Structure 1
Amino acid sequence: MDRETLGQRIRALRIRQGISQAQLAFPELSDSYISLIESDKRVPAPSVIDLLAQKLNCSATYLVSGVSEDVVDELRVTLDYAEIALRNGAAEEARERFAEVLANADAVALPSMLHQARWGHALALEAAGRLEEAIDGLRALTAEASADADLAHWARVHVALSRCLRERGDISAGVEVAEDALRHLIATGADSTDAAVHLGAALLAAFIERGDLVRAGQLAGQLVERAERIGSARARMAAYWEAAYVAEIRGEYEDGVALAERALLLAGDDGAAPADGGPPEDPRNLARLRIVYAGLLLRARPADAGRARDLLTRVRGEINASSAGEIDVAWCLTELARAETALGRPAEAVALAEQALDLLGGAPRRATAWALTVLGEACVRLGRRDRAIEVLTQAATHLEEMESVREAAQAWFDLAELLAETGAPERPGLDAYRRALTCAGV
């Protein structure tokens, strides 16, 4: 729909109020300049727009967009409500409110508000588990975003897209998005920024999930060094977090625990202010970091399984008060199941893992494979060998389909060992060993 131009609106308001161009211009501007603006031959600076809005008794927003203040206020309230719903974990409610703004014809004339709604809508879709739609929205945002205009937001959009692609199981695409974005920052001399560290962390996570541990180890060291050089608490937190993940994969669990503790301290865990005195960390990120820490405790210090379970129980209670989606909730339930298994309570572990699987549905996601693996281990402890073989086969197949070759190799190996222990026919066990070797590149 065609809209009035800025110049046409100024002219219409001036005539309606019965004043001349000279009267509107006096004393700050010239009447010839007003004429050029009204004929759309000049674009006034924001300060001039503010001045003209005062003289014409309207808002600067109306002059620029043609949208009345009442409509702007209504859209802003809807956006605020959507943001609150997203932070409180009401993903579907948030999605509906963001969609309401996007469907409003007046939003087209309010680019900043429209972009906020599109960004929030994509995050709400991710939190609701609608990854395909979230990816479509984020791809459109990355195509339009400018690192020159807002580097931090540009990086956030690319990190979110890489994360959603990995959650869907398309790890190579997740690597490509983060790698291309990081390469762009390095080429433009913006590699020593928080944005570069956060993109590096996203790339590191993708490398680990793909099984590229050599590159992951190299990048982890670079991230920590870069973050220490920058000095930002958030950058250091992200670097320590990912370095803890690498340590876990390498089996260096105590190092991982120490790194995760440093990340939690920087994030302002337990209600303390973040180390840099900035705003509190996103509750979703803080919950994820606590889950990582609890998982490392389970592996590094089995005697602390009770402490890990208490922390995960606390996270489970808090996670619904954040913008956590079903994948984060399922991840927490899966680690809780792992803790219950370590504490000798496999029946409770089975119940928790099955809750996680119910949340995730049948899609071959990484979170689904993790839950199946933990469920299989708990079934073994309960003596339910047939069920264990069934779910471990599903887990290994999911991981192999999603290019998580290192984890797939481990899952096939665990299955082969279980088949050998149960006295199953030789052929299935040999097939599992072969698939483990294939995933390991042998």
Structure 2
Amino acid sequence: MTDEAVGKRIRELRQEQGLSQAELVKPGLLSAGYLSLIESGRRRPSPDVLRYLAERLGTTPGHLATGRQPDLWQETERRLSFAELALEHATAEAALSEFEEISRSGPPPYHPRAELGRARALELLGRTEQAFAVYEALWKAAEPGTALWAERATDLLRCSRDLGDYGYAADLGERAMATFEDLGVEWSDSSVRLGVTLAGVYIHRGDLVRAARLLRRLIEISDSTGSPLARGSAYWNAAVTAHYQGRGADAKAFADRALALFGETDHQRNLAVLRTFYGELLLDGEPADPGQAREFLLDAHERLTQLASPAEISECETYLARAAVRLGDLDEALRWAQAARSRLTADAAPTAEAEAAIALGMVHLAADDARQAAAALAEGERVLERATPGRAVVSLWNRLADLHEERGDTTAALRAYRQAMTAAGYRRPSHPLTRV
């Protein structure tokens, strides 16, 4: 054993887990200066320090000292690596089984990593409530203000947002950001991504002014200190905000910047979802470009089917259906709309179900099939009635109203417009004025 080899192993494990030296400090046992000397090979850790570092880094003192792990640990490492690889290639069910088995019977130091894999697999499978519970346990176990704590808080915000619980998500995000401020922690990729996710919650609940203000600050911070992932995330959400504010040129400029930044990373799933959003921009632009939108969406769909959740794939397919209608290919539009509807699981969010049903109704309406169009749109209404109010729900009610109006059902159109106003926070007076 050499002091340099021990220090190198400690440094590599710390960096793999996104921990700073300051995050491993323990008063009375390990200072930042002592850890720096250990990692540089100039000091040998005492047995107590070695045991403490092994516990914090999820390994054994023997591994830190010699580089050798017990046979069972080596096998567990191999199984976890294969499960994580399976998760990246859209075989979430198989990965979930492996993560669950390791959580039950694997060596304790591997349990947090297995639980994180389990949460991600559950989220990919559309079982968002279960994923939320696992992320929450991991978040509570992390030390407040650390990079790991920020990452798990980000996971919680994302799940809460997808479940439609915008109030809880916003409160959690604001408290987490306040924790960083109170602790005086410097901005990092993890805290920037947490802020970006909070901005996304504001966008979903329709608070675009607050989202835009937070994103301006995050873009300024991430441009000077952030990685391509953090910067790309900030520009992406700025594009979404601009899109919903009707600033099409700004939205496209921000999205172009986000695409370039994500192209520098290995986050292929995020890149695919971003390309889906870019396809939406092209569909809704002035003028619209359904041909180019279709190219972006087909590329995104190919990536998503290997990496993403059913809801993300379904959303892409609804946009492909819209593009096909604009291009006059109703057979293709019907195939995409039916695929989007059939892909969703029983745990899917109401907004995802409603979007798929409305897309199918749009295609039937374009094909002059009034009966099928009415049935699909009625299904969309039933689903939206149980959705949590927010920007996405307002948008879907407005789309429903437009389609009802197009098919000549003014009563249904008025009902949908009123639902959109209610979802946006407007309340009709209890005693409306009447003409005498």
Q: TM-score normalised by the shorter chain: which range applies?
A: 0.7 to 0.9
Q: Which residue of 2 aligns with 1:317?
A: 302
Percent of residue pairs identical: 34
Q: Identify if the C-alpha distance between structure 1 residues 431 and 59 changes in structure 2 by more than 3 Å, giving closer, same or farther.
A: closer
Q: Identify if the C-alpha distance between structure 1 residues 286 and 380 changes in structure 2 by more than 3 Å, giving closer, same or farther.
A: same
Listed one character per residue, the Cα deviations across residues 166-196 of structure 1 (whole Å, up to 9, x for unaligned) are: 2223332332332222222222223632222
State whether structure 2 residue 154 is matched by structure 1 residue 159: yes
Using the TM superposition, give the Cα deviation of residue 420 of structure 1 relative to its aligned residue in structure 2, in angstroms: 4.3
Of residues 151, 169, 176, the one that matches 1:174 is 169
Q: Identify if the C-alpha distance between structure 1 residues 393 and 193 changes in structure 2 by more than 3 Å, giving closer, same or farther.
A: farther
Given that residues 62 and 69 in structure 1 are in contact (C-alpha distance below 8 angstroms), is that contact kept between their aligned partners in structure 2?
no
Q: How many residues align?
A: 374
Give the Cα–Cα distance (whole angstroms) in 2 for the partners of residues 348 and 302 of structure 1. 23
Q: Which residue of 2 aligns with 1:141?
A: 138
Q: Which residue of 2 aligns with 1:35?
A: none
Of residues 378, 388, 411, the one that matches 1:403 is 388
Q: Which residue of 2 aligns with 1:334?
A: 318
Query: Which residue identity is paired with 1:133?
Result: Q
Using the TM superposition, give the Cα deviation of residue 417 of structure 1 relative to its aligned residue in structure 2, in angstroms: 4.3
Of residues 324, 333, 355, the one that matches 1:349 is 333
Give the Cα–Cα distance (whole angstroms) in 2 for the partners of residues 86 and 286 of structure 1. 17
Using the TM superposition, give the Cα deviation of residue 49 of structure 1 relative to its aligned residue in structure 2, in angstroms: 9.9
Q: Which residue of 2 aligns with 1:214?
A: 209
Q: Identify if the C-alpha distance between structure 1 residues 49 and 194 changes in structure 2 by more than 3 Å, giving closer, same or farther.
A: closer
Q: Which residue of 1 aligns with 2:343?
A: 359
Listed one character per residue, the Cα deviations across residues 303-339 of structure 1 (whole Å, up to 9, x for unaligned) are: 53222212221222222333x2212222222222222
Listed one character per residue, the Cα deviations across residues 340-382 of structure 1 (whole Å, up to 9, x for unaligned) are: 1222223322321221221113544332222223223222212
State whether structure 2 residue 62 is matched by structure 1 residue 60: yes
User: SS at the partner of 2:306?
Assistant: coil
Q: Identify if the C-alpha distance between structure 1 residues 320 and 331 changes in structure 2 by more than 3 Å, giving closer, same or farther.
A: same
Give the Cα–Cα distance (whole angstroms) in 1 for the partners of residues 127 and 76 of structure 2. 24
Give the Cα–Cα distance (whole angstroms) in 2 for the partners of residues 170 and 206 of structure 1. 9
Q: Identify if the C-alpha distance between structure 1 residues 96 and 400 changes in structure 2 by more than 3 Å, giving closer, same or farther.
A: same
User: SS at the partner of 1:383?
Assistant: coil
Given that residues 237 and 263 in structure 1 are in contact (C-alpha distance below 8 angstroms), is that contact kept between their aligned partners in structure 2?
yes
Give the Cα–Cα distance (whole angstroms) in 2 for the partners of residues 341 and 95 of structure 1. 38
* Coordinate RMSD, CA, aligned: 2.9
Given that residues 101 and 114 in structure 1 are in contact (C-alpha distance below 8 angstroms), is that contact kept between their aligned partners in structure 2?
yes
Given that residues 399 and 407 in structure 1 are in contact (C-alpha distance below 8 angstroms), is that contact kept between their aligned partners in structure 2?
no
- The residue correspondences of 1:87-166 to structure 2 (distance < 5 A) are 87-104=88-105, 106-108=106-108, 110=109, 113-148=110-145, 150-151=146-147, 153-166=148-161
Using the TM superposition, give the Cα deviation of residue 433 of structure 1 relative to its aligned residue in structure 2, in angstroms: 3.3
Using the TM superposition, give the Cα deviation of residue 219 of structure 1 relative to its aligned residue in structure 2, in angstroms: 2.1
Listed one character per residue, the Cα deviations across residues 43-93 of structure 1 (whole Å, up to 9, x for unaligned) are: 52229999xxxxxxx9804999xx971111111111011011011111011
Given that residues 291 and 332 in structure 1 are in contact (C-alpha distance below 8 angstroms), is that contact kept between their aligned partners in structure 2?
yes
Q: Identify if the C-alpha distance between structure 1 residues 264 and 432 changes in structure 2 by more than 3 Å, giving closer, same or farther.
A: closer
Query: Which residue identity is paired with 2:419?
Result: R
Q: Identify if the C-alpha distance between structure 1 residues 337 and 417 changes in structure 2 by more than 3 Å, giving closer, same or farther.
A: closer
Q: Which residue of 1 aligns with 2:290?
A: 305
State whether structure 2 residue 254 is matched by structure 1 residue 259: yes
Q: Identify if the C-alpha distance between structure 1 residues 394 and 191 changes in structure 2 by more than 3 Å, giving closer, same or farther.
A: farther
Q: Identify if the C-alpha distance between structure 1 residues 142 and 343 changes in structure 2 by more than 3 Å, giving closer, same or farther.
A: same
Q: Which residue of 2 aligns with 1:46?
A: 50
Give the Cα–Cα distance (whole angstroms) in 1 for the partners of residues 102 and 382 of structure 2. 41
Listed one character per residue, the Cα deviations across residues 149-178 of structure 1 (whole Å, up to 9, x for unaligned) are: x41x32221212221222223332332332
Query: Which residue identity is paired with 1:347?
Result: D
User: SS at the partner of 2:143?
Assistant: coil
User: Which structure 2 residue ranges, 5 or more long, are not aligned?
Assistant: 1-45, 55-59, 427-436
State whether structure 2 residue 185 is matched by structure 1 residue 187: no
Listed one character per residue, the Cα deviations across residues 110-160 of structure 1 (whole Å, up to 9, x for unaligned) are: 2xx221111111101111112222111111111111245x41x32221212
Given that residues 361 and 377 in structure 2 are in contact (C-alpha distance below 8 angstroms), is that contact kept between their aligned partners in structure 1?
yes
Question: TM-score scaled to structure 1, two decimals?
Answer: 0.76
User: SS at the partner of 1:103?
Assistant: helix
Give the Cα–Cα distance (whole angstroms) in 2 for the partners of residues 403 and 191 of structure 1. 35
Give the Cα–Cα distance (whole angstroms) in 1 for the partners of residues 87 and 171 of structure 2. 28
Given that residues 208 and 246 in structure 1 are in contact (C-alpha distance below 8 angstroms), is that contact kept between their aligned partners in structure 2?
yes
